[in-house]
Copies of this chain bind each other. A is one copy, B any other.
Protein backbone atom coordinates (compact mmCIF):
# COMPACT_ATOMS: atom_id res chain seq x y z
CA UNK A 1 0.00 0.00 0.00
CA UNK A 2 1.08 3.59 -0.62
CA UNK A 3 2.26 5.52 2.44
CA UNK A 4 0.33 8.62 3.36
CA UNK A 5 3.21 11.08 3.03
CA UNK A 6 3.58 10.18 -0.64
CA UNK A 7 -0.07 10.92 -1.29
CA UNK A 8 0.18 14.18 0.63
CA UNK A 9 3.13 15.25 -1.45
CA UNK A 10 1.40 14.24 -4.66
CA UNK A 11 -1.63 16.32 -3.71
CA UNK A 12 0.62 19.27 -2.88
CA UNK A 13 2.31 19.00 -6.29
CA UNK A 14 -1.08 18.89 -7.98
CA UNK A 15 -2.21 21.90 -5.99
CA UNK A 16 0.86 24.09 -6.42
CA UNK A 17 1.88 23.13 -9.92
CA UNK A 18 5.62 22.97 -9.36
CA UNK A 19 7.87 20.90 -7.13
CA UNK A 20 9.40 24.06 -5.67
CA UNK A 21 6.06 25.45 -4.56
CA UNK A 22 4.90 22.08 -3.29
CA UNK A 23 8.11 21.64 -1.32
CA UNK A 24 7.80 25.08 0.19
CA UNK A 25 4.19 24.46 1.18
CA UNK A 26 5.26 21.34 3.06
CA UNK A 27 8.46 22.80 4.47
CA UNK A 28 10.71 20.25 2.85
CA UNK A 29 13.33 20.52 0.11
CA UNK A 30 12.67 20.18 -3.62
CA UNK A 31 14.91 17.15 -4.04
CA UNK A 32 12.84 15.38 -1.39
CA UNK A 33 9.66 15.91 -3.38
CA UNK A 34 11.43 15.02 -6.59
CA UNK A 35 12.47 11.68 -5.17
CA UNK A 36 9.09 11.00 -3.61
CA UNK A 37 7.36 11.49 -6.95
CA UNK A 38 9.84 9.15 -8.60
CA UNK A 39 9.19 6.63 -5.88
CA UNK A 40 5.45 6.91 -6.43
CA UNK A 41 5.88 6.22 -10.13
CA UNK A 42 8.16 3.31 -9.32
CA UNK A 43 5.72 1.79 -6.85
CA UNK A 44 2.69 2.27 -9.08
CA UNK A 45 4.67 1.23 -12.13
CA UNK A 46 2.86 3.69 -14.35
CA UNK A 47 3.76 7.12 -15.68
CA UNK A 48 2.32 9.96 -13.64
CA UNK A 49 4.36 12.85 -15.02
CA UNK A 50 5.57 14.19 -18.31
CA UNK A 51 9.09 15.43 -17.79
CA UNK A 52 10.33 17.99 -20.23
CA UNK A 53 13.58 19.71 -19.42
CA UNK A 54 13.10 22.14 -16.58
CA UNK A 55 9.44 21.26 -16.17
CA UNK A 56 7.63 18.36 -14.62
CA UNK A 57 3.90 18.10 -15.18
CA UNK A 58 1.26 15.63 -14.09
CA UNK A 59 -0.19 13.70 -17.00
CA UNK A 60 -3.87 12.74 -17.13
CA UNK A 61 -3.39 9.67 -14.97
CA UNK A 62 -1.30 11.67 -12.51
CA UNK A 63 -3.99 14.31 -12.16
CA UNK A 64 -6.66 11.68 -11.75
CA UNK A 65 -4.52 9.96 -9.13
CA UNK A 66 -3.87 13.20 -7.27
CA UNK A 67 -7.55 14.08 -7.19
CA UNK A 68 -8.46 10.65 -5.84
CA UNK A 69 -5.65 10.90 -3.32
CA UNK A 70 -6.98 14.25 -2.12
CA UNK A 71 -10.37 12.65 -1.58
CA UNK A 72 -8.79 9.80 0.33
CA UNK A 73 -6.82 12.14 2.56
CA UNK A 74 -9.91 14.10 3.42
CA UNK A 75 -11.62 10.83 4.25
CA UNK A 76 -8.71 10.00 6.50
CA UNK A 77 -9.01 13.32 8.28
CA UNK A 78 -12.69 12.72 8.63
CA UNK A 79 -12.01 9.29 10.10
CA UNK A 80 -9.65 10.71 12.70
CA UNK A 81 -12.26 13.24 13.72
CA UNK A 82 -14.76 10.44 14.08
CA UNK A 83 -12.38 8.53 16.30
CA UNK A 84 -11.82 11.55 18.51
CA UNK A 85 -15.55 12.21 18.67
CA UNK A 86 -16.19 8.58 19.57
CA UNK A 87 -13.57 8.69 22.28
CA UNK A 88 -14.87 11.96 23.66
CA UNK A 89 -18.39 10.58 23.83
CA UNK A 90 -17.12 7.64 25.84
CA UNK A 91 -15.81 9.89 28.59
CA UNK A 92 -18.04 12.92 28.43
CA UNK A 93 -21.74 13.60 28.72
CA UNK A 94 -23.04 16.70 26.99
CA UNK A 95 -26.23 18.10 28.45
CA UNK A 96 -28.23 20.86 26.88
CA UNK A 97 -31.07 22.81 28.43
CA UNK A 98 -33.32 25.67 27.44
CA UNK A 99 -32.82 27.24 30.87
CA UNK A 100 -30.15 27.01 33.57
CA UNK A 101 -32.24 25.76 36.50
CA UNK A 102 -32.57 22.16 35.27
CA UNK A 103 -28.79 21.88 35.52
CA UNK A 104 -29.12 22.37 39.28
CA UNK A 105 -30.93 19.07 39.41
CA UNK A 106 -29.17 17.25 36.64
CA UNK A 107 -25.51 17.94 37.24
CA UNK A 108 -25.23 16.50 40.77
CA UNK A 109 -27.03 13.34 39.70
CA UNK A 110 -24.87 12.89 36.61
CA UNK A 111 -21.58 13.50 38.35
CA UNK A 112 -22.50 10.97 41.04
CA UNK A 113 -23.81 8.33 38.63
CA UNK A 114 -20.99 8.75 36.11
CA UNK A 115 -18.10 9.57 38.38
CA UNK A 116 -15.41 8.77 35.83
CA UNK A 117 -16.97 10.96 33.13
CA UNK A 118 -16.95 14.69 32.60
CA UNK A 119 -20.18 16.59 32.17
CA UNK A 120 -20.55 19.46 29.72
CA UNK A 121 -23.54 21.77 29.97
CA UNK A 122 -24.85 24.31 27.51
CA UNK A 123 -27.92 26.51 27.31
CA UNK A 124 -29.64 26.75 23.92
CA UNK A 125 -33.11 27.14 22.45
CA UNK A 126 -35.37 24.12 22.02
CA UNK A 127 -34.82 23.72 18.27
CA UNK A 128 -31.07 23.56 18.57
CA UNK A 129 -31.36 21.16 21.49
CA UNK A 130 -33.54 18.76 19.53
CA UNK A 131 -31.28 18.96 16.51
CA UNK A 132 -28.27 18.44 18.76
CA UNK A 133 -29.73 15.36 20.37
CA UNK A 134 -30.50 13.88 16.97
CA UNK A 135 -26.88 14.38 15.94
CA UNK A 136 -25.63 13.03 19.26
CA UNK A 137 -23.98 16.38 20.01
CA UNK A 138 -26.00 16.10 23.22
CA UNK A 139 -26.69 12.93 25.14
CA UNK A 140 -29.36 14.55 27.32
CA UNK A 141 -31.51 17.61 26.69
CA UNK A 142 -34.04 19.56 28.71
CA UNK A 143 -36.68 21.35 26.67
CA UNK A 144 -39.68 23.47 27.63
CA UNK A 145 -41.96 21.42 25.40
CA UNK A 146 -42.28 17.75 24.58
CA UNK A 147 -40.01 17.11 21.54
CA UNK A 148 -42.34 14.26 20.48
CA UNK A 149 -39.63 12.54 18.54
CA UNK A 150 -39.95 8.80 18.05
CA UNK A 151 -36.20 8.35 18.37
CA UNK A 152 -36.20 10.02 21.79
CA UNK A 153 -37.13 8.76 25.20
CA UNK A 154 -38.81 11.71 26.93
CA UNK A 155 -40.18 12.22 30.45
CA UNK A 156 -41.74 15.16 32.23
CA UNK A 157 -39.04 16.65 34.42
CA UNK A 158 -39.46 19.59 36.83
CA UNK A 159 -41.52 22.76 36.71
CA UNK A 160 -40.34 26.28 37.39
CA UNK A 161 -42.57 29.26 38.25
CA UNK A 162 -41.75 32.95 38.18
CA UNK A 163 -42.71 35.53 40.78
CA UNK A 164 -41.67 39.10 41.27
CA UNK A 165 -39.25 40.15 43.97
CA UNK A 166 -40.22 43.63 45.17
CA UNK A 167 -37.97 45.93 47.23
CA UNK A 168 -39.46 47.63 50.31
CA UNK A 169 -39.31 51.07 48.79
CA UNK A 170 -41.23 50.00 45.70
CA UNK A 171 -44.94 50.95 45.28
CA UNK A 172 -45.74 47.31 44.42
CA UNK A 173 -44.56 46.21 47.85
CA UNK A 174 -48.05 45.81 49.25
CA UNK A 175 -49.70 44.27 46.22
CA UNK A 176 -51.16 40.77 46.55
CA UNK A 177 -50.62 39.96 42.90
CA UNK A 178 -48.96 41.55 39.93
CA UNK A 179 -50.30 41.38 36.38
CA UNK A 180 -48.21 41.73 33.23
CA UNK A 181 -50.04 44.97 32.60
CA UNK A 182 -48.75 46.34 35.94
CA UNK A 183 -45.24 45.70 34.75
CA UNK A 184 -45.39 48.05 31.77
CA UNK A 185 -42.73 50.72 32.09
CA UNK A 186 -41.12 49.06 35.09
CA UNK A 187 -37.41 48.39 35.39
CA UNK A 188 -36.49 44.77 35.86
CA UNK A 189 -33.16 43.27 36.77
CA UNK A 190 -32.47 39.85 35.26
CA UNK A 191 -29.54 37.54 34.92
CA UNK A 192 -27.97 37.37 31.50
CA UNK A 193 -28.28 33.68 30.79
CA UNK A 194 -31.81 32.65 31.55
CA UNK A 195 -32.47 30.83 28.31
CA UNK A 196 -36.11 30.37 27.42
CA UNK A 197 -37.23 32.83 30.12
CA UNK A 198 -35.81 35.65 28.01
CA UNK A 199 -38.30 34.86 25.25
CA UNK A 200 -40.98 34.45 27.90
CA UNK A 201 -40.35 37.97 29.17
CA UNK A 202 -40.44 39.48 25.69
CA UNK A 203 -43.65 37.64 24.86
CA UNK A 204 -45.59 38.41 28.03
CA UNK A 205 -44.17 41.71 29.23
CA UNK A 206 -44.14 44.20 26.40
CA UNK A 207 -42.87 47.62 27.36
CA UNK A 208 -40.75 46.43 30.23
CA UNK A 209 -37.23 47.81 30.73
CA UNK A 210 -34.75 44.98 31.13
CA UNK A 211 -31.47 45.44 32.93
CA UNK A 212 -29.39 42.33 32.27
CA UNK A 213 -26.45 41.49 34.48
CA UNK A 214 -23.95 38.86 33.43
CA UNK A 215 -22.33 38.15 36.80
CA UNK A 216 -24.15 36.46 39.68
CA UNK A 217 -22.49 38.54 42.41
CA UNK A 218 -23.22 41.73 40.52
CA UNK A 219 -26.78 40.51 40.12
CA UNK A 220 -27.21 40.05 43.85
CA UNK A 221 -25.73 43.49 44.50
CA UNK A 222 -27.90 45.14 41.88
CA UNK A 223 -31.03 43.61 43.37
CA UNK A 224 -29.80 44.59 46.83
CA UNK A 225 -29.81 48.23 45.84
CA UNK A 226 -33.59 47.99 46.04
CA UNK A 227 -34.07 50.29 43.09
CA UNK A 228 -35.85 47.91 40.73
CA UNK A 229 -37.98 44.81 40.50
CA UNK A 230 -36.50 41.41 39.70
CA UNK A 231 -37.86 38.00 38.82
CA UNK A 232 -37.35 35.15 41.17
CA UNK A 233 -38.12 31.57 40.31
CA UNK A 234 -39.65 29.25 42.90
CA UNK A 235 -36.58 27.12 42.52
CA UNK A 236 -34.28 29.94 43.51
CA UNK A 237 -36.60 30.96 46.31
CA UNK A 238 -36.84 27.44 47.71
CA UNK A 239 -33.09 27.23 47.79
CA UNK A 240 -33.03 30.45 49.78
CA UNK A 241 -31.03 32.22 47.15
CA UNK A 242 -33.30 35.25 46.97
CA UNK A 243 -32.95 38.57 48.73
CA UNK A 244 -34.78 38.12 52.01
CA UNK A 245 -35.40 41.81 52.51
CA UNK A 246 -37.66 41.84 49.52
CA UNK A 247 -41.14 40.49 49.18
CA UNK A 248 -42.03 37.76 46.71
CA UNK A 249 -45.26 38.70 45.00
CA UNK A 250 -46.97 36.14 42.76
CA UNK A 251 -47.76 36.91 39.14
CA UNK A 252 -51.39 36.97 38.13
CA UNK A 253 -51.18 35.19 34.78
CA UNK A 254 -51.49 31.78 33.14
CA UNK A 255 -48.04 31.05 31.79
CA UNK A 256 -46.02 31.81 34.86
CA UNK A 257 -44.96 28.15 35.02
CA UNK A 258 -42.72 26.28 32.61
CA UNK A 259 -42.67 22.48 32.52
CA UNK A 260 -39.36 20.94 31.56
CA UNK A 261 -38.95 17.69 29.64
CA UNK A 262 -35.89 15.50 29.87
CA UNK A 263 -34.93 13.48 26.79
CA UNK A 264 -32.25 11.10 25.63
CA UNK A 265 -31.99 9.01 22.48
CA UNK A 266 -33.88 5.74 22.80
CA UNK A 267 -30.68 3.97 21.78
CA UNK A 268 -29.00 5.31 24.89
CA UNK A 269 -31.86 4.85 27.33
CA UNK A 270 -30.30 1.85 29.02
CA UNK A 271 -27.29 4.01 29.78
CA UNK A 272 -29.32 6.86 31.30
CA UNK A 273 -32.14 4.85 32.86
CA UNK A 274 -30.84 5.57 36.32
CA UNK A 275 -30.78 9.29 35.63
CA UNK A 276 -34.46 9.23 34.76
CA UNK A 277 -35.14 7.00 37.74
CA UNK A 278 -33.61 9.41 40.19
CA UNK A 279 -34.99 12.59 38.72
CA UNK A 280 -38.48 11.73 37.59
CA UNK A 281 -39.73 9.85 40.64
CA UNK A 282 -40.62 12.78 42.84
Contact = CB atoms under 8 A, between A and B. Distances in A.
Interface of A: 1-5, 8, 44, 46, 60-61, 64-65, 68-69, 71-73, 75-77, 79-80, 82-84, 86-87, 90
Copies in the complex: 2
Contacts of A71: 79
A84 B45 CA distance: 10
A76 B5 contact: no
A1 B73 contact: yes
Contacts of A75: 72, 75
Given A61-B90, A90-B60, A90-B61, A2 B83 contact: no
Contact of A82 (B1, B60, B68, B76): B68
A69 B76 CA distance: 8
A72 B79 CA distance: 8
B64 A68 contact: no
A64 B83 contact: yes
Contacts of A77: 1
Given A1-B76, A3-B4, A83 B60 contact: no
Contact of A61 (B2, B8, B79, B87): B87
A79 B68 contact: yes
A1 B12 CA distance: 14
Contacts of A69: 79
> Of A5, A73, A75, A82, which is in contact with the most chain B CB atoms at under 10 Å from its CB?
A75
A69 to B, nearest CB: 7
A5 B2 contact: no
B5 A3 contact: yes
